[in-house]
Amino acid sequence: MKIETILFDLDGTLIDTNELIVASFTHTLEKFSDRQYTREEILNFIGPPLVDSMQQVNPDKVEEMIATYREHNLANHDKYVEAYPTVVETVKKLKDAGITLGIVTTKLSDTAKLGLQITGMADVFEVLIGLDDVENAKPHPEPILTAINQLQANPMTTLMVGDNYHDIEAGHNAGVQTAGVAWTIKGREVLEAHNPTYMLEQMSDLLQLVGVE
């Protein structure tokens, strides 16, 4: 099936924010948790909405924890964030080739826009759906369907690209094609278990997939 629209998750897919996320969680957990969390445990918090992760740590202090996390994340954002290899040139080539591009993230829109600005991709995407634009986060299909709706795209020719099983599940639930990224911090086998339509070894694989190269 031809691909005319590509929707991307942001963190862990286009931009590497993993160490920033780990640092922000570590900082927050030190303040609000009664025990030490291992790196492995913190990695499990990457992907789902913050509120779900914080709920597991300290249900009574969720809002305070989110505020602490976001403050740290924003203050240290520019220091950590960079695009993954081949990402910037790939998305620009796709745009030039007439492929419609969008972002579907569980981040708040403003922070997501910041990440795109730092990595030089602010003007590449036609739509950005953040956590504050929907009622239900991925794996619910709402964020993807909202993007498709705004872009007036055809679900049949839409591809959702992500580093987390939430992205693949959301794609399945929305009836679009899906692609997992092999550089996911979760380990590719986690994604493969959710049967993405494609697995990308590097972002430039998309060019061949859509017939740009």
pLDDT at 89: 98
Is pLDDT at 132 greater than 90 in this prediction?
yes
- 47: pLDDT strictly greater than 90: no
User: Which pLDDT belongs to residue 200?
Assistant: 98
Residues that are catalytic: 9
Domain ranges of the chain: 5-16+82-209, 18-80
Strands of 54-105 (E only): list them: 82-83, 100-104
pLDDT in tens, 87-128: 999 999 999 999 999 999 999 999 999 999 999 999 999 999
With bands split at pLDDT 50, 70 and 90, how would you rate the model's confidence at 186? Answer: confident
Is the torsion defined by CA of 109, 207, 199, 159 positive or negative?
Answer: positive
What is the average per-residue pLDDT within 180-201?
96
The CATH superfamily holding the domain 5-16+82-209 is HAD superfamily/HAD-like (3.40.50.1000)
Q: Is the pTM of this model over 0.85?
A: yes
Distance, C-alpha 35 to centroid of its chain: 29
Query: Above 90 in pLDDT, residue 26?
Result: yes
Q: What is the DSSP letter of 41?
A: H
Query: Other CB atoms closer than 10 Å to residue 78's CB: what's the count?
Result: 12
Report phi then psi at 127, rounded to 5.
-145, 145
Residues pairing with 181 in the sheet = 200
pLDDT at residue number 48: 86
Residue pair 185/43 in contact by the 8 Å Cβ criterion:
yes
| CA angle (212 as vertex; 106, 161 as ends), nearest 5 | 15
Q: Are 65 and 58 in contact (CB under 8 A)?
A: yes
Contact, 185 vs 46, CB < 8 A?
A: yes
Can you give the C-alpha Rg of the chain in angstroms? Answer: 17
Question: Rounded to an integer, what is the distance from CA 100 to the centroid of its chain?
Answer: 17
Q: Are 119 and 84 in contact (CB under 8 A)?
A: no
* Reported CATH class of domain 18-80: mainly alpha
Distance CA 154, CA 148 (A): 7
Report helix, strand or coil for 18.
helix
Q: Which two tokens mark 64?
A: 């305070």
Mean pLDDT of the chain: 96
